[in-house]
Structure 1
Amino acid sequence: MFKKIFTILIIISSAFSFAQSEEVSESHATNDNVPFAVIEKVPVYPDCDFNTNLELKKCMSTKISEFVSMHFNLSKIEALNLPPNVYRVSVQFKIDKEGNVVGVRARAAHPEIEAEAVRVVSNLPQMEPGKQKGEAVGVLYSLPIVFKIEPPTQNEKKKKKRKRKN
């Protein structure tokens, strides 16, 4: 039923970071935080076994997308009774020097959606940390999640009416 009502589109923008550009100053190295888009050696998601940074970035983005799609609790979204529309959640987090996901923040139109996004992203598995100049560093990552809530079909409308009568 959820698949008929909701279509989740996870858009991983590994090349984009909130308020960050490709031009990164040396201060990122001293702060021990480097944007995902420019890290020399990206963090490695479990089961991503590739040689190049580009392949590792693509694998990581795919794996994070799959994880979020699989673990996002759609019943919480359905309970909000939101009108059909496209909804966006912007999630930011850091993969620290040990490969843990920390500092998860989300911004969405509804606090319940923010909380669910934070819950799911906080449960990402530990990764191999990213490296800059041969040393482990924190890697900043942003993840936009886009929901498309579709209007109920005629059959779903009839089912809801029957439930209300009972």
Structure 2
Amino acid sequence: MFQMRLCLLVLFITQPIFSQSITPEEVMGAWKVNAVSIAQNTDALPEKVRELKKVFEGAIFNFQGNGVFEIELQNKSSQIASIFKEFTGTNWILKNNSIHIGYEADIYSYMRIQIEKGAKTLFKLPMIQLEVTKTKDAKPKKFKKLKSKYPKTRVLNSLKKPVFKTKEFDEGTVIPYSEVQTPPVIGDCEITADIEEMKKCTSQKVSRFLNRKFNTEIANDINFSGTAVTKIRFIIDVDGSVYNISATSTQPEFAEEGKRVIGLLPNFTPGQHNGKPVAVSYVLPMTFKVVE
């Protein structure tokens, strides 16, 4: 059965890596990735690690003096790359020797990078670490506060209540996502003859939505560390609305938060089977990785 996979990677900084604080002026400028290596003791999905390594090979991180962040990727074709490209044109701040990337309204939660300086400079992210070299300096300027590209940020969406609709479906009327002839799509994803492209587009949209809306501070609240696996199930009805959201997880708090975020999803364009709209069952596995 086809299952859309999302690996939500959460990095929480509990203490500085080294005692001497790094300054924003040291960070400002362009940094080129020279080498990518897998972090020790990672138990993430191997294919995700390989994809992540490929995405960051030769990448350039640009921390502008006015607080604007840009990233240039050499490998742009993967789903993960499309997510990281969204970070270009956001803000960056330095806090506790960690670079926080995003918007103020989203509490700079898009990405966090630990910096380790020694014989080599390392940018440490979940699952991987990047050996980087500074190729260009930048001078401090007045901070340019940017507004989110998205009309509804995580903070604003905390005011919106999720919708949990339930419905009894007759036996045989719900088609698994892997078997439906025309899968449901979301947002600006188009219905085309390329079924795999439709699935890829919807996967990317839902992944970005979850990454923006999921309250990652839950892990801090419950003092969680390690890895948690969560599986969310729901049905996309013939009108495109989401019904019967359920979730299981090795960490119950993540299951509840996953259900909340899915309850915020906008309507899909419904799937079709034999030329008619049908209800489609959807399974969404997620892996949460928290590194201390």
| TM-score above 0.5, yes or no | yes
In 2: Cα distance, 1:40 partner to 1:4 partner? 39
Picking from 186, 198, 206, the partner of 1:64 is 206
Name the residue aligned to 2:221: 79
1:41 aligned counterpart, secondary structure = coil
Determine if the alignment matches structure 1 residue 47 to structure 2 residue 54: no
Residues matched between the structures, number: 131
Name the residue aligned to 2:12: 5
Q: Please tell me the residue identity of whatever aligns with 1:59.
A: C
> Which has the higher Rg, Structure 1 or Structure 2?
2
Determine if the alignment matches structure 1 residue 101 to structure 2 residue 248: no
Name the residue aligned to 2:174: 33
Structure 2 regions of 5+ residues with no counterpart?
1-8, 14-43, 49-78, 80-169
Counterpart contact for 2:10–2:216, Cα < 8 Å: no
How well do the aligned residues superpose, as a CA RMSD in angstroms? Answer: 2.5
Q: Please tell me the residue identity of whatever aligns with 2:173.
A: D
How far did residue 97 of structure 1 move? 0.8
Name the residue aligned to 1:114: 255
Name the residue aligned to 2:51: none
Deviations 1:41-87 (A, max 9, x none): 1112111025221111110111111111110001122201013x111
Deviation beyond 3 Å, 4+ runs, structure 1: none
1:127 aligned counterpart, secondary structure = coil
State percent identity of aligned pairs.
30
1:55 aligned counterpart, secondary structure = helix
2:277 aligned counterpart, secondary structure = strand
2:217 aligned counterpart, secondary structure = helix
In 1: Cα distance, 2:278 partner to 2:221 partner? 40
Counterpart contact for 2:10–2:288, Cα < 8 Å: no
Higher relative contact order (CA 8 A, sep 6+): 1
Structure 1 regions of 5+ residues with no counterpart?
13-28, 152-166
| Higher percent of residues as strand | 2
| Higher percent of residues as helix | 1
